[in-house]
Amino acid sequence: MQPDAHDHSHEHAHAEGGCRHAHDHAGQAEAGLARAEAVCRERGLRLTPIRRKTLEALYADHRPVGAYDLADRISPPGGRRLAPISIYRALDFLVEQGFVHRLSSRNAFIACPHGHGADEAVAFLICEVCGGVDEDASPAMP
């Protein structure tokens, strides 16, 4: 019997082909990038190429990603690997602007398409099956 197969009926947390949140996260990339560009424009800030590539790489994965892994992912193929400090600077900017969250427990980062305030409490739900992350934010949370 497969791990998710059993003889009773109820809705499963996993969609065909993997976890549901993996599909949800991938679908948010275009809107999240557009929001980041618009917010930067409104605030008079620049979404530099490295900042944009970092954000794109985070949207490409529904799991938290570390800075060194990001450096590998966005470095030019066959070229020099980007310095991790450059990635950390981009991540600092993206976190400060509310486009990315840092998950301290994983020492990794995840894209945030929601646009909630920096002071708003956020709960992260980490999937035990795939390591993917969903977030829940509410002004009612303490």
In a domain, 10, yes or no: no
- For residue 58, the model assigns a pLDDT of 94
* Phi/psi of residue 34, nearest 5 degrees: -65, -40
Residue 3 within any structural domain of the chain = no
- In angstroms, the CA 41 to CA 52 distance is 14
Q: List all residues 6 or more positions away from 33 whose beta carbon is below 8 Å from its beta carbon.
A: 52, 55, 56, 59
Reading the block at residue 61, the tokens are 């994965």
Do the domain assignments include residue 28?
A: yes
In a domain? residue 2: no
Residue 82 domain flag: yes
Domain that residue 51 falls in: 19-137
Quick check: is 96 in a domain? Answer: yes
Encode the chain (142 residues) as per-residue pLDDT tens digits. Answer: 344 443 433 343 444 555 665 555 567 888 899 999 999 999 999 999 999 999 999 999 888 999 999 999 999 888 888 999 999 999 999 999 999 989 888 889 999 887 766 667 777 777 777 777 777 776 665 5
- The dihedrals phi and psi of 23, each to the nearest 5 degrees, come to -70, -40
Residue 49 lies in a domain: yes
CATH code for position 45: 1.10.10.10
Q: CA-to-CA distance for 135 and 68, rounded, in angstroms?
A: 23
Q: Has residue 11 been placed in a domain?
A: no
CA distances to 22, 50, 99, 116, 118 from 131, in Å: 10, 26, 20, 23, 24
Domain count, the chain: 1
Amino acid at 15: A
Look at residue 119 in the predicted model and tell me its pLDDT.
Answer: 67
